[in-house]
Structure 1
Amino acid sequence: MFVGTCSDAGKSLVNAGFCRVFKQDGFNPAPFKAQNMSLNSYATPEGLEIGRAQAVQAEACQTAPSVYMNPVLLKPTGEMKSQIVLLGKPVGDQSAYAYFKENDRAELFEAAVDSFQKLNAQFNPIVMEGAGSISELNLKKRDITNMRIALRTGADVYLVADIDRGGIFGSVYGTIALLTQEEKEAVKGIIVNKFRGDARLFEEGKQILEELTGKPVVGVLPHFADLYIEEEDSVSLTNKNKHAIAGKVNIAVVRLEQLSNFTDFNALSMHPSVHLYYTLEKEELKNADIIILPGSKNTIADLNRLKSLGVDQEIQNAYRNGKTVIGICGGYQMMGVAIKDPDGIEGAALETEGLCLLPVETVLENSKVTEQGDFYFKDQDELCHGYEIHMGKTNPVNEAYMPVNKLPDGSDEGCWVNEKCWGSYFHGILDNQVVINELLGEFGVENHDFDYVEYKEKNYDQLADYIRQYMDLDYIYKLLKR
C-alpha cells in the first residue's frame, strides 16, 4: 500500500508504476483504493462508476476496471457537499461535516473490506493506495482509506513524500511519529518522490531520514517530466497553459467550477497542430478557434455562473462569428435550449435557459446513467468507443434535430447542427482519432495517425522502467514473499 505525507504526493503514479511492474513480472495485480474523492470518474464494463485513477491503474495492470477497485467514491457537488457513490451507484448527497462527524463510517468501511476480499480472491498482489495524509488526527477515527484499511488487510505500507514541496524531513518524521505503534510497524519504507537533479546528492538525506524514522528509504524517484500518465484530479489544471498561441489550432476548454473528466481532452492536446488550454477569461475565449464546454458535476450552477460572468454571451458570439463550439456531457446539456430540474436534484434552481446553440432540452432525473458504449461518429464507418456518466435525459425540441452519433443498435446519440456546433454525452469521444481528425479538418490540418491506447501503454512501460531503476525492488519483493 502506498500512502502519503500529503495530498498530491504522487501516490497514484507510484501505484500505477508498481501495477505495471508486477504485471511484467508475471503476476496478476489489481489496484485498490477504499475511498476516493474526485470529479474525474469512469464507467466500468458493468456500468458502475469508479474513480478515474483506479481505472488508469487497472490499465497499467492490463485488466478491466472493477467497482471493487474503488468501492466508495465522493464526488463534490459544490457548497461543501458531495455525492456518495457506493459500489458504483449514487446513494445520496451529504455535507462534508455530516460525512465526517455522523459516525465512524462503519458501513462504508465494511463495504471496502468486502471489496478488497473479492479482489484478493481473484488477483495477486493487490496494489493499494491511500488518500491525502495518513496523519490527519482530527479525521483519523472516521478515515476508511489509510491506515485503518492497511491494518485490516495486513498490507505492507510505503510512505510517499513529495520532496519538491520542501520540508521533507519534518513531513516524513512528523507523519510517522503521529502513528500508533501498530501503524508504525506496518510502515515498511519511505519513498522520496519528485526529486530534481542528481539523486546522489540526497544520499546524506536518505541516511538522515532513516536515522530519524527507523525506516529504510526504498527509493528516490525523479520528477518525471518526460512521462505521460493520466492525472487524477483537476488540481493539475492550474499548471496548464492558459493563453492562445500563434500558429496552432487554439482550443479553449471552459474552466467550469465543477469541471469533471478533464481527461476527455488529453488525446486532443497531444495533436502536433493543437494548443489546448483551460480558461474563463473572455479575451482568451475570443482567441480560440474551438471552444469546448466540458462535463460538470453541477450543470445548472456552472451554467448560471457562466451567465453571471458574461461568458455565456462570449460563447454564443464565438459561434456566430464562425468559431467552433462543442459540448461533452454537462457541456452538451448547457448548449441546449433549457435544463430542467423538477426534483431539485442539483439545487434550488428548477430550470434555467441554456445557450440555445442546440435544438434540445434536458430534464434531470434521479437515475444515473453509467455505461460504456460504442458508436459511429457522423457518417464515419470506424467504430468508436466512449462512456457515459450523467443524470438526466436530453431530447429534441423541434424537427431541426440531427444526431451526431449512431449506435450499433441503430439508435441515435448527441446533437449535430453543423461541423461547428455539436454535443455528445460520450466521455472519451475525443480519444478517437477519427473524431479528432474530423474536428480539425476544417482548419486544413492533415489527418494524424495517433493511437492513444498504444501511447499510454508505452508510458506505463516507461514508468515501470523508472520504478525498476530507482526503487529497491528486491527489498519489496522479499517482504511480499515472506
Structure 2
Amino acid sequence: MLNNLDQEETYKMTDRKDSKLRPFMLGGTGSDVGKSIVATAFCRIFLQDGYRPAPFKAQNMALNSFITADGLEIGRAQAVQAEAAVVPCQTDMNPILLKPTGNKSSQLVLNGKVAGNQSAQSYFRKEGRSELRKAVNDAFDRLATNYNPIVMEGAGSIAEINLREVDLVNMSMAIHANAAVVLVADIDRGGVFASIYGTVMLMTPQERKHLKGVIINKFRGDIKLFESGIKIIEDLCKIPVLGVIPHYTDIHIEEEDSVTLETKSRLATEGKINIVVVLLKHLSNYTDFNVLERDPRVHLFYSNNTEEIKKADIILIPGTKNTISDLYEIRKNGVAQSIIKAHKNGVTVVGICGGYQMMGLEVCDTNQVEGEIKRFPGLNLLPVITELGDEKVTRQVEFNFLDQTQAHCKGYEIHMGTTSPTEEANDSPVNRKLDGTTDGYFLNEKCFGTYIHGILDNSSVIEYLLAPYSEKLNAEPLDIEAFKNQQYDKLAAHVRKHVDMELVYKILKETE
C-alpha cells in the first residue's frame, strides 16, 4: 500500500470543518454492482475537494484482507479506499470481516481479531445480534469524530427483506449514521429498471427517507440514448439519477474479491516473462500479484491447467484459506505434479503464505484446525515442515530481502501455523526482519517460500525474481506508487465527469 503520510503532503489536505457533510452510503441493487469501486472514487474526489474522507463498511465478506499498522485485520477493499483517501487504514473502517472457510461457514474477524468460526445460520440468528450491532455502531461513531465525510458501503442488496431484522451493514447502519444513501445499479447485467424500482419499493418508509438518488454503473454505448430511461426511473422512484457511469477498461483498481480471476487471461504469451499464479480453490490475498500483473515486462495469468503451467517461466503458489484442502485438490487434478516437474526443468517456483506451506515436506494439523486430516504430504520442494495452529499471526513487517540490506522492504503477515526447517536442513531464511527475526526458506534463486504478503510489491524483490530471465527484459520497471495514484485520480475524474457533483454536495449538506 502507498505511504499515506507522504501523500498527505502531496494533496495538502485541509479538513473543511466549516463544511460538515452527512455520511454518504453507496448501497446496491445486488452484489458485484461496483459499490466498492464507486466508493473508492468518492474517497478520492472528496480528498481532492479539500475534505478528509474515510471509508466504512460495517460487515465485509472476503478472503482478501489487509493488516493495519497495529497488526489487525480488515477487508482489503476498505484498505484500498483508505489509500485513495490518503488516510491510515484502521479496524473501525471494517469492524466485521467474514472469511469463508467452506460453503456454509466463515471465520469471524471482529475489530481486527479472530472471534471464532460461525455457520451462516448461527451468524444471522437474532440472539446475540445486539453485541455485533453495538460493535459496528461504535466503530462508525469513532470514525465519524475524526473524518468528514464518511464514505459508507453496503453489502449485496439493500433490500434483502428476509434479513432486515438482523441487518448490520445496509439500511440499519444508514439510519444509525443518518447517512444519505445512493443506490448503485449495474446496467451491464440487464434488468436495471426492475432492480432499481424493486429495490425502492421493498424499502420501508423510514428507509426511503434516507434514499437520495441513484447511480447507474457500467454503462456501454451512447449515454444520450438513455436519457428517456433516466426520466422513467426518476418518475417511478421519485428520486434523482445522480449519474450514469460508463464502463471502462483503462483504469486499474484492486477488485474487492477474486470473482474475476477465472475470466482473466489463462494463456502464456510470447515476448514477455510468463508468470502463472496457481488458481487454488481457496485462493486468498491474490492482490499479492497486482504489481507484477501491471509490470510491462511480465505476462501474468491465473491457471490450474497443467499444460499452461508447464509453459510458465515462473510459478507462484498463492495464499489459501485451507492449505491441506488445496494441497489435496492440486494433487488430484495433476497441478502438483506439473509444478514439481517444472521445477526440475528449471522453472522458478515461489510460494507465499499457504503456498509456502505447500512447498514443504509435510503440513501437519494435529489440532484439526482446518479439518479432519491431521497430516498431508507437501510438494517436497523445500526442506521444511508446517504445523498449523489456532493462533493467527497478523502484523505489518519491515525486512531485508536476502542480503539486500540497502533497501528495506515492507509487507504483512496473516497466517495460522509455523514452518520450520527439518533437523537435517541448514537455516536458510529468505527475509531478515528489522525486529531481528527471520522468515521463509531459500533453497536457491529459483525456489523459495515466504509468509510475507506484499513481498512482491517491493521493487528489489521483483528485480531478483525476474533477473534469471533478463534476455526477455526490454521494458522499464513499473513505479507502483505513481501508477496507483494515477489510477485513483483517473477513476475520480471518470466518476466526477459523469456524476452531478453539485447535486451530491447539496444532498450531503442537508441535515435531513
**TM-score range relative to shorter protein:** over 0.9
SS of aligned partner of 1:139: helix
SS of aligned partner of 2:212: strand
Q: How far off its partner does 1:104 sit?
A: 6.7
Counterpart in 1 of 2:461?
435
Counterpart in 2 of 1:365?
389
Would you say 1:300 and 2:297 are equivalent positions?
no
Counterpart in 2 of 1:229?
253
Worse overlay, 28-37 or 130-139? 130-139
Counterpart in 2 of 1:323?
347
**Number of equivalent positions:** 482
Would you say 1:473 and 2:497 are equivalent positions?
no
Counterpart in 1 of 2:437?
411
SS of aligned partner of 1:208: helix
Residues 9-55 of structure 1 show CA distances to partners (whole Å, capped at 9, x for unaligned) of: 00001101111111111111100000000000000001000000000
Matches within 5 A, 1:154-165: 154-165=178-189
Cα distance in structure 2, aligned partners of 1:276 and 1:258: 19
Counterpart in 1 of 2:446?
420
SS of aligned partner of 2:242: strand
Matches within 5 A, 1:273-312: 273-312=297-336
Counterpart in 1 of 2:107?
83
Q: How far off its partner does 1:284 sit?
A: 1.0
1:441 counterpart letter in structure 2: A
Counterpart in 1 of 2:479?
451
Would you say 1:53 and 2:81 are equivalent positions?
no
Worse overlay, 239-248 or 413-422? 239-248
Cα distance in structure 2, aligned partners of 1:102 and 1:335: 43
1:408 counterpart letter in structure 2: L
SS of aligned partner of 1:221: strand
Mark the CA change 1:81 to 1:467 in structure 2 (over 3 Å): closer, same or farther: same
Would you say 1:5 and 2:29 are equivalent positions?
yes
SS of aligned partner of 1:361: strand
SS of aligned partner of 1:101: coil
Cα distance in structure 1, aligned partners of 2:437 and 2:210: 53
Matches within 5 A, 1:161-310: 161-310=185-334
Q: Is the 8 A contact 1:248 1:273 kept in 2?
A: yes
Cα distance in structure 1, aligned partners of 2:161 and 2:322: 31
Q: Is the 8 A contact 1:405 1:414 kept in 2?
A: yes
Q: Is the 8 A contact 1:156 1:188 kept in 2?
A: yes
Cα distance in structure 1, aligned partners of 2:442 and 2:178: 53
Q: Is the 8 A contact 2:296 2:478 kept in 1?
A: no
Q: How far off its partner does 1:306 sit?
A: 1.1
Q: Is the 8 A contact 2:126 2:166 kept in 1?
A: no
2:456 counterpart letter in structure 1: L
Would you say 1:394 and 2:419 are equivalent positions?
yes
SS of aligned partner of 1:228: coil
Cα distance in structure 2, aligned partners of 1:166 and 1:220: 15
Q: How far off its partner does 1:320 sit?
A: 0.8
Q: How far off its partner does 1:101 sit?
A: 3.4
Cα distance in structure 2, aligned partners of 1:153 and 1:268: 39
Query: What root-mean-square deviation, in Å, do the aligned CA atoms of Structure 1 and Structure 2 show?
Result: 1.3
Cα distance in structure 1, aligned partners of 2:128 and 2:30: 22
Cα distance in structure 1, aligned partners of 2:145 and 2:391: 32
SS of aligned partner of 1:138: helix
Q: How far off its partner does 1:394 sit?
A: 1.1
Q: Is the 8 A contact 2:187 2:216 kept in 1?
A: yes
Q: How far off its partner does 1:80 sit?
A: 1.8
Q: How far off its partner does 1:300 sit?
A: 1.0
2:409 counterpart letter in structure 1: C
Worse overlay, 393-402 or 324-333? 393-402
Q: How far off its partner does 1:400 sit?
A: 3.1
Cα distance in structure 2, aligned partners of 1:91 and 1:281: 37
Q: How far off its partner does 1:102 sit?
A: 5.5
2:336 counterpart letter in structure 1: D
Q: Is the 8 A contact 1:433 1:448 kept in 2?
A: no
Residues 259-306 of structure 1 show CA distances to partners (whole Å, capped at 9, x for unaligned) of: 001111011011222111111111111111111110001111111111
Counterpart in 1 of 2:21?
none
Would you say 1:74 and 2:74 are equivalent positions?
no
Residues 61-109 of structure 1 show CA distances to partners (whole Å, capped at 9, x for unaligned) of: 1011000000000000124210000000011111122222353722111
2:116 counterpart letter in structure 1: G
2:497 counterpart letter in structure 1: Q
Counterpart in 2 of 1:144?
168
Would you say 1:38 and 2:66 are equivalent positions?
no
Residues 390-432 of structure 1 show CA distances to partners (whole Å, capped at 9, x for unaligned) of: 1111111133341111112332211110111011111111111
Cα distance in structure 1, aligned partners of 2:438 and 2:154: 41
Residues 118-169 of structure 1 show CA distances to partners (whole Å, capped at 9, x for unaligned) of: 0011111110000111112222222211111011111000000000001100
Would you say 1:128 and 2:152 are equivalent positions?
yes
Cα distance in structure 1, aligned partners of 2:123 and 2:75: 19
Which structure 1 segments of 5+ residues have no match?
none
SS of aligned partner of 2:217: strand
Cα distance in structure 1, aligned partners of 2:492 and 2:457: 24
Which structure 2 segments of 5+ residues have no match?
1-24
Mark the CA change 1:402 to 1:96 in structure 2 (over 3 Å): closer, same or farther: same
Would you say 1:118 and 2:176 are equivalent positions?
no
Would you say 1:460 and 2:488 are equivalent positions?
yes
SS of aligned partner of 1:345: coil
Cα distance in structure 1, aligned partners of 2:433 and 2:28: 43
Q: Is the 8 A contact 1:401 1:417 kept in 2?
A: no
Structure 1 length-normalised TM: 0.98
Q: Is the 8 A contact 2:278 2:315 kept in 1?
A: yes
Which of 407, 413, 419 matches 1:382? 407
Which of 359, 363, 380 matches 1:339? 363
Cα distance in structure 1, aligned partners of 2:164 and 2:459: 45
Q: How far off its partner does 1:386 sit?
A: 0.6
Q: Is the 8 A contact 1:12 1:53 kept in 2?
A: yes
Structure 2 length-normalised TM: 0.92
Counterpart in 1 of 2:22?
none
| Sequence identity (%) | 54
Q: How far off its partner does 1:363 sit?
A: 1.1
SS of aligned partner of 1:395: strand
